Amino acid sequence: MKKVLLTFILSVTALIATAQNGITDVLAAGVGAATLYTESYITPAAEAFTYNQAAGWYNDSRALDQWKFKVQIRANGTFSPDEERSFVLDPAQYEALIQESYDERNIFGADVTVTFQDGTQRPRRVATALGTNDPDEFLVVNTQLDLFGVEEEFEIQLAQGLGNAGLDLVPSAFLQAGVGLGFGLEAKVRYTPEIEVDEARIQLLGGGLQWQLSEVLDPEDKLPLEFSVLAAYTRIDALYDFEDGDLIEGTNQRLESDTNSYVFSAIVGTDYKVLNFYGGLNYVTGNTQTDVLGTYRASTTFSGFTLSQTFVDPISVESSVSSLVGTVGTKLSLGFFEISADYTLGAYDTATAALNFKF
């Protein structure tokens, strides 16, 4: 559990830290370009985290008996489709946004050209927060001021993703507990305490309710099957404090990301003492809000004179998901100790494993 939890925390930290470099570098070229890049870069990871937190809420179609308890150590791993590990970046699109930013700043006569480092403007795929750039990718922003006959050029290194850290999935780990309430109801909670690693802080909290419907659907208990429904909610709060002025001058610079994940499930499973199988159809919906907050002062120098612009809380990006996914799994019960594993198929597949202790 400790190793998986550490991997979860470090992956989030690595993700936000690499995002910091790319996003704040692009911010120096203007809010429009930075917002477009942030949305393209962050969205696949935000969606993966939403599906990740919707998984693992059940490993049995039966609810606990009244006042019975279950404590679980759970680990989820969400796999991203290949197409979500990169996105197509068109330098001409960024050129238009940066040109617009310069025009709004009254930099008259500025002629902006944006290319990749090799001098081409042909669109190409670059890493999202789930992928990797191999080799590193750069945008080159060239600005000519015809009015003054001067030229300025700077490079923007595009951010790497989790793939660059050797991670092919989005991991998570948490404690989950359930208690039987009677009448076929079981209340569930999941929790990871607020953990701080370097400049990053993260916390996970969720709750759910499962209702066993067997008395309604099979009142005479003729089938070796049990049926239930479940509704659950999980929230992840993450914050990364930038080193003020490390990449772009400013104060109170930070990135905040909040993920809200909801799942509604119909579950069916066998009713045996030792080995059981279960499956479910799940409707997953949720959203992630990512904000780049603080004060940022971008400066552009042309042959000895400097033009500056200050941005306050410059970027806010929201992504959402909504789809059906299916789960199949199995559980081995050895008295008070249980082992379970399942796999959820959907837009982002998720594997789940758990150690359970029943009291």
User: 357 Cβ partners below 8 Å, 6+ apart?
Assistant: 70, 71, 72, 336, 337, 338
Residue 48 · residue 80 · CB < 8 Å: yes
Burial (0-12, 13-18, 19+ Cβ within 10 Å), 14: buried
Structure tokens at 46: 């935000």
**What averages of pLDDT result for each successive group of 10 residues across the chain (359 residues)?**
53 60 75 92 93 96 95 94 95 92 72 92 94 92 76 85 82 93 95 79 93 78 87 92 65 89 97 96 96 83 67 92 98 95 97 95
**DSSP labels, 169-235:** EEEEEEEEEEEEEETTEEEEEEEEEEEEETTEEEEEEEEEEEEE-HHHH-TT--SSEEEEEEEEEEE
CA 223, distance to chain mean position in Å, is 41
What DSSP designation does 56 have?
-
* Confidence at residue 245, expressed as pLDDT on a 0 to 100 scale: 47
* Confidence at residue 307, expressed as pLDDT on a 0 to 100 scale: 67
Q: What are phi and psi of 131, to 5 degrees?
A: -110, -155
* Confidence at residue 120, expressed as pLDDT on a 0 to 100 scale: 93
Q: How many CA atoms lie within 13 A of 211 on its CB side?
A: 8
In the chain, the DSSP E strands lie at 69-79, 86-89, 110-116, 124-127, 138-145, 150-157, 169-182, 185-197, 200-212, 225-241, 249-270, 275-302, 305-312, 315-334, 337-345, 350-358
- Give me the residue spans of the domains in the chain: 2-81+172-358
Matching residue, tokens 């617009």: 100
Rounded Cα–Cα distance for residues 129 and 264 (Å): 28
Residue 359 · residue 336 · CB < 8 Å: yes
Q: Which of 280, 269, 278 lies closest to 225 in space, CA to CA?
A: 269
* Confidence at residue 250, expressed as pLDDT on a 0 to 100 scale: 81
* Confidence at residue 339, expressed as pLDDT on a 0 to 100 scale: 97
* Confidence at residue 20, expressed as pLDDT on a 0 to 100 scale: 62
pTM beyond cutoff 0.85: yes
Rounded Cα–Cα distance for residues 264 and 277 (Å): 20
Rounded Cα–Cα distance for residues 74 and 347 (Å): 21
Burial (0-12, 13-18, 19+ Cβ within 10 Å), 283: middle
Can you give the length of the chain in residues?
A: 359
* Confidence at residue 107, expressed as pLDDT on a 0 to 100 scale: 64
Matching residue, tokens 């909040």: 258
CA angle 141, 142, 145 (to 5 degrees): 135
